[in-house]
Amino acid sequence: MDKVYRELTAKLTNLEQPRTQREYEDSFTFKMFLFEFINMYSSLIYIAFFKGRFFGHPGQAFTLFGFRQDQCELGGCLFEVCVQLAIIMVGKQILNNISELSWAEIMNWWKRWWRTRDGPKDRVATTRWEIDYNLLECDRMALFDEYLEMVIQFGFVTLFVAAFPLAPLFALLNNIVEIRLDAYKYVTQLRRPLSARVPNIGAWQAILKGLSVFAVISNAFMIAYTSDFIPRLVYIFVTSKNRTLDGYIDNSLSLFNTSDFSDEVRPEEPMLGNLTVTFCRYQDYRNPPNHTDPYQLNMKYWHIFAARLSFVVVFEHLVFFITSILAYMIPDIPKSVQQKIMRKRHLAREALYKTEAEEARTVLETTEESLTGEGDSTILPC
C-alpha cells in the first residue's frame, strides 16, 4: 500500500503545481503522512474510541447495515489497545529492521550476480570508486522514508501511551539498534548519498507539533472514556460508604430480563443446568426491567459522563499550561548559540559595510582624479 499511497500523493501534488521545490516537498509530505496516519492508526483509534460504544443493551442491540457491532473483550478496550500496541512496538519494529537491512543485502547480491553472470568470475573491484559504484544506489526518497518512519513511531508512542506505558522504552531500544543498522547500511550497502543544506526539517516540524497536541487530547479521552479510571473514582468518592472499591463490580452491572429478548436473538435454551435463567447482568448503567423507563440510561451514567468530561477539560488545560511554561523556560535555541549566531551576522554585516565603503571610496577617488585631470582621465580640459 505504501507504493499506492506514494503514487497517489505524487499525482495529487503535481495537480497542485506548487511554485517552488520547498512548497512541493511540504505538500507531498503532508499528504503522504495523512495517508499513513489513516493506515497506521485507524485500527487503534477504532478500538480505543468507537468499539462497543454504540452497542445498546441486550434486548435492543445497535446494528449497522444489518450487522451487530462488536464489543471489547472482558478485559476492556484499553487492554486490546495495549496488546495491539505491544505487537506493533515489539514485533513489527523488529521485522521492519530485519527487512530493511536484508533488502539492501539481497539487492547488492543480485547486482553482483547479474554483473558477473556472463563475465569472468574472478573479477573483483579493487579501487574505492569501483566498490562504491557497485553498491546499491541510494534512493532520493530514502531520507523521507526515515523521517516518515520516525514520525509514525512518535505517533504510536504519544497517541496511545496511556494504554501501553512501555511504548517509549521499546521505541528507545529500537532506535538505539536502528542507528547502528542504518550506519551499517549506509556505509557498506549503499552509495554515498548527496548532501544538501537545509534550514530546518520542513513540514515535519508542523506534523510533530500537531501530533503532540492531538496526543494530549487522545490520552485524555482514553483515560476518561476507554479506561475505568473515572467510574472507579466516582464510585469511591460518591457511592462507596467506606471509600473503597468493595461492591464496584455489582454497581457497574445492570439487570436484564431474558423474556425481553427479541425473537432474533433469543437463546434457544435459556437453561443453566437445571435452572431457568430469568435475569442476566451486563456492564452498563441502565434502569432495571421493573422501572417506569426500563433499560434507559440512569443518573449514575450521567454523573460518570459529567466526571469524564470534566477530567478531559482539566487534563488538557493542565498539560497545555505546563508545556507552555516549559516552552517559555526552555528556548528552541540556547542563549549561547543565539549570541554566536548574532555575532556571526554582525561580523558579516560589518564586512559587507566595509567592502561597500571601500568600493565607494575607490569610485570617489577615481571621480575626483578624473575631474582634476590627474591620472588617466578621459575628460579633456576646457
Mean pLDDT of the chain: 83
Q: What mean pLDDT comes out for the span 297-320? A: 92
Task: Give the integer Cα–Cα distance in Å for 141 and 187.
Answer: 18
Task: Give the integer Cα–Cα distance in Å for 134 and 189.
Answer: 9
Residue with more model confidence, 215 or 102 = 215
The reported pTM is 0.77
Among 333, 319, 89, 322, which residue's Cα sits nearest to residue 213?
319
Q: Residue 6, CB half-sphere, CA atoms under 13 Å: how many?
A: 7
Among 306, 313, 284, 287, which residue's Cα sits nearest to residue 230?
306
At 262-280, the pLDDT tens digits run: 766 666 666 666 677 778 8
Radius of gyration for the chain, computed over Cα atoms and rounded to the nearest angstrom: 34
Question: What confidence category does residue 63 fall into, taking pLDDT thresholds of 50, 70 and 90?
Answer: low
Task: Give the integer Cα–Cα distance in Å for 345 and 348.
Answer: 5
Cα 74 from chain centroid (whole Å): 29
Q: Is the pLDDT of residue 96 over 60?
A: yes
At 123-135, the pLDDT tens digits run: 555 677 777 777 8
Q: What is the pLDDT of residue 310?
A: 94
Q: What is the pLDDT of residue 314?
A: 94
Task: Give the integer Cα–Cα distance in Å for 328 and 78.
Answer: 34
Q: What is the pLDDT of residue 313?
A: 94
How many other C-beta atoms are found inside a 10 Å radius of the C-beta of residue 250? 8
Backbone angles phi, psi at 190, to 5 degrees: -120, 150
In degrees, rounded to 5, the angle at the alpha carbon of residue 315 between the alpha carbons of residues 309 and 317 is 105
Q: Is the pLDDT of residue 317 over 90?
A: yes
How many other C-beta atoms are found inside a 10 Å radius of the C-beta of residue 102? 10
Q: Is the pLDDT of residue 322 over 50?
A: yes
- CA torsion through residues 224, 227, 149, 4, sign: negative
Question: What confidence category does residue 64 fall into, taking pLDDT thresholds of 50, 70 and 90?
Answer: low
Query: In the chain, what percentage of residues exceed pLDDT 90?
Result: 20
- Out of 217-221, 264-268, 320-324, 352-356, least confident range: 264-268
Q: Is the pLDDT of residue 379 over 50?
A: no
**C-alpha cell of 261?**
429478548
At 162-178, the pLDDT tens digits run: 999 999 999 999 999 98
Question: Do 284 and 231 contact (CB within 8 A), yes or no?
Answer: no
Dihedral, CA atoms, 23, 27, 28, 33, nearest 10 degrees? 140
Q: Is the pLDDT of residue 376 over 90?
A: no
Dihedral, CA atoms, 301, 248, 250, 299, nearest 10 degrees? -20
Task: Give the integer Cα–Cα distance in Å for 223 and 308.
Answer: 9
Q: What is the pLDDT of residue 59?
A: 67
Among 65, 59, 55, 66, which residue's Cα sits nearest to residue 263?
59
